[in-house]
């Protein structure tokens, strides 16, 4: 039986999949025409994927997964929303891209998938949905080949402490350090289309940078690279500005703070 908080989040993602699929942010038509939507940080961080097996954790409806396949990887994507996985499979069929998609709770993946991968990848908006990062680290390690690469690019835990309702300033509103119970947020529309009329709730867990790194170390992985960036992949605050490369930044009047991080780890 799935945890009731995760069940509620899965319900939310069923709705968000439909909204996001139709949104300009995801630009599915552009993807179908051949656009590759993987950003420069993940492209550079993961490197050459040709001929490699790649497992994409929390793949949503598979756009990034299929983009890795276009670059030559043999891909498997996993997500707990059956709406997302159904959409991912349809997209793979429509575009003629070979891909395997698995629908399950991340924590149940060992019951649904076997094997080890050259690369385990996850990115942009994944960790706050997970209650237990130690268990997440073990899943990452279990599905990685010896010598394999784990890569994550994600919003920086520091950025999550600020009030996301504020109109024009950074105001500390949320704790930095993890707690065992999630926070409840009311949701209007989706992050990809805030104008949508949908109303729902989400449960989110706070994770600190030390907790994230510690989860991977305690699973036996070696952290090879950790970087921080003064921009993020999505708009976290109303007053952020998009730069020429498509990253969301704070206006110049703010001192630079970390808004995103990337991390590489290896299984030895």
Residues that bind ligand SAM (CB under 6 A): 6, 9, 13, 58, 60, 63-64, 79-81, 84, 105-106, 123-126, 129
- Least Cβ distance, residue 61 to ligand SAM (angstroms): 7
**What one-character DSSP code corresponds to residue 174?**
S
CB nearer ligand SAM, residue 52 or residue 64: 64
The residue nearest ligand SAM at its CB is: 125
**What one-character DSSP code corresponds to residue 42?**
H
Token digits for 200?
């729902």
Alpha-carbon span 167 to 80, nearest angstrom? 34
CB nearer ligand SAM, residue 125 or residue 230: 125
| Sign of the Cα pseudo-torsion (55, 184, 193, 93, in order) | positive
- Least Cβ distance, residue 147 to ligand SAM (angstroms): 25
- Least Cβ distance, residue 64 to ligand SAM (angstroms): 5
- Least Cβ distance, residue 148 to ligand SAM (angstroms): 20
Residue 82: half-sphere exposure toward Cβ, Cα within 13 Å = 1
Residue 86, number of CB atoms within 10 A of its CB: 14
- Least Cβ distance, residue 168 to ligand SAM (angstroms): 26
CB nearer ligand SAM, residue 10 or residue 52: 10
CB nearer ligand SAM, residue 222 or residue 227: 227
Contact between 214 and 42 (Cβ < 8 Å): no
The closest alpha carbon to 240, from 162, 163, 168, 156, belongs to 168
CB nearer ligand SAM, residue 191 or residue 254: 191
């Amino acid at each position: 039986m799935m945890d009731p908080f995760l069940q509620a989040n899965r319900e939310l993602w069923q709705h968000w999949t439909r909204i996001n699929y139709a949104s300009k942010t995801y630009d599915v038509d552009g993807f179908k025409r051949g656009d590759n939507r993987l950003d420069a940080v993940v492209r550079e961080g993961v490197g050459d994927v040709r001929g490699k097996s790649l497992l994409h954790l929390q793949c949503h409806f598979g756009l990034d997964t299929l983009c890795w396949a276009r670059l030559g990887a043999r891909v498997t994507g996993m997500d707990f929303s059956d709406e997302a996985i159904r959409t991912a499979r349809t997209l793979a069929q429509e575009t003629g891209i070979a891909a395997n998609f698995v629908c399950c709770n991340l924590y149940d993946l060992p019951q649904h998938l076997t094997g080890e991968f050259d690369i385990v990848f996850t990115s942009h908006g994944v960790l706050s949905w997970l209650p237990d990062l130690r268990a997440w680290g073990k899943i990452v390690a279990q599905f990685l080949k010896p010598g394999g690469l784990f890569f994550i690019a994600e919003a920086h835990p520091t950025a999550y402490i600020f009030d996301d309702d504020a109109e024009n300033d950074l105001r500390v509103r949320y704790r930095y350090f993890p707690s065992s119970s999630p926070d409840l947020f009311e949701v209007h529309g989706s992050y990809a289309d805030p104008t949508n009329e949908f109303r729902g709730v989400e449960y989110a867990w706070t994770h600190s940078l030390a907790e994230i790194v510690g989860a991977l170390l305690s699973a036996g992985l070696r952290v090879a690279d950790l970087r921080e960036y003064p921009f993020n992949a999505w708009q976290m605050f109303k007053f952020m500005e998009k730069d020429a490369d498509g990253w969301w930044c704070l206006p110049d009047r703010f001192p630079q703070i970390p808004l995103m991080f990337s991390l590489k780890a290896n299984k030895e």
